[in-house]
Amino acid sequence: MNTFPQSLDEAVNQAKEATLAALADGYNRVQVELVIAEIPLQAQALALEFTTIFTEYGSGLKVLFPDTGAASLAKRDWGEVAFRVTDLGSRYTPVETKVAPEDELFLLVCPSSVEVERVEKLCNAAGDRPVVLLIPQLEDVSIVGIGLAARQLRERFISTLFSAYYFQPLEGAALLRCHPSPWQIWLEKEEGYELASEQAQKPVGDALERLLLKLTSGDNTEDSNIPRPKKSGILSNLQKMIRALNQ
């Protein structure tokens, strides 16, 4: 069983191990999600850290950023690297042109719901070759929508993505998924965090709220008016975790 990460370094190391385990188990559309507001601002540093687990691919690794600006900035900051760096294309440059026969694995950095169609096309063009989505943000309802087309997109593509690693701080708790372990709810205690529940499927929305209320109140009530726990101490620790990326 995995342990609760005490620092950003531990979380990143867990995520890297979970990614490799998922790929070894045959999953080739893998997500790594750190649901922390500040993390996308550190996407470039996190991406460079993740490339270290794919050194065996050499130039067969291709790192893609959502736009030309982000890709150019990474090329400038990283200097000479063994892998290739590019972007997801634009209205004038189809994303399919970014996929070459010599590419073996694609690391897609921080794609948002604005790029979701291009992400789907990239995955289709990649075929059986692995695609790892690092801190994706693909399900912004205000952009993807809530109608038939959005539902079809989720069923056709988003639902096929496999969560190798997921970490989300909650109020007095955290939601963690580290493949091959199931989805876990960890509760904040006087010292550290304690595993409180394991779920086969990701708990979301009302189901997650009911589960948290049950775990924190000690009963099965579903009364949504019961006060939620106070904000977790992990929220204050996240700034330390983020600063670690800049060191």
Q: What is the DSSP string of 134-160?
A: ES-B---HHHH-SSHHHHHHHHHTGGG
- Report helix, strand or coil for 177: strand
Average pLDDT, the chain: 86
- What number is the average pLDDT over the span 214-242? 52
Is residue 1 scored above 50 in pLDDT?
yes
Q: In what order do the strands lie in the sheet with 162-169?
A: 84-87, 61-65, 105-109, 131-134, 29-34, 162-169, 173-178, 183-188, 193-199
Q: What's the number of domains the chain is made of?
A: 1
Tokens of 75: 């090329």
Return the pLDDT at 157.
Answer: 87
Return the pLDDT at 243.
Answer: 52
Is residue 138 scored above 90 in pLDDT?
no
Rounded to whole angstroms, how far apart are CA atoms 73 and 237?
29
Return the pLDDT at 146.
Answer: 57
- Report helix, strand or coil for 225: coil
- Worst-scoring range by mean pLDDT, 8-22, 64-78, 217-231? 217-231
Residue 225: band (very low, low, confident or very high) from pLDDT cuts 50, 70, 90: very low
- What number is the average pLDDT over the span 177-202? 93
- What number is the average pLDDT over the span 1-14? 89
Range of the domain at 98: 1-247
- What number is the average pLDDT over the span 160-182? 95
- What number is the average pLDDT over the span 110-119? 90
Is residue 234 scored above 60 in pLDDT?
no
Global pTM value: 0.86
Is residue 13 scored above 70 in pLDDT?
yes
Return the pLDDT at 149.
Answer: 67
Sign of the alpha-carbon torsion through 189, 192, 197, 199: positive
Return the pLDDT at 223.
Answer: 42
Q: Please give the share of the chain, as a percent, with pLDDT higher than 90.
A: 62
Rounded to whole angstroms, how far apart are CA atoms 112 and 25?
27
Is residue 142 scored above 50 in pLDDT?
no
b/e for 138-175, b at 16 or more Cβ within 10 A? beeeeebeeeeebeebeeebbeebebbbbbebbebbbb
- What number is the average pLDDT over the span 10-33? 97
Rounded to whole angstroms, how far apart are CA atoms 46 and 41?
10
- What number is the average pLDDT over the span 46-60? 96
First to last CA, the chain: 30
Sign of the alpha-carbon torsion through 240, 244, 245, 247: positive
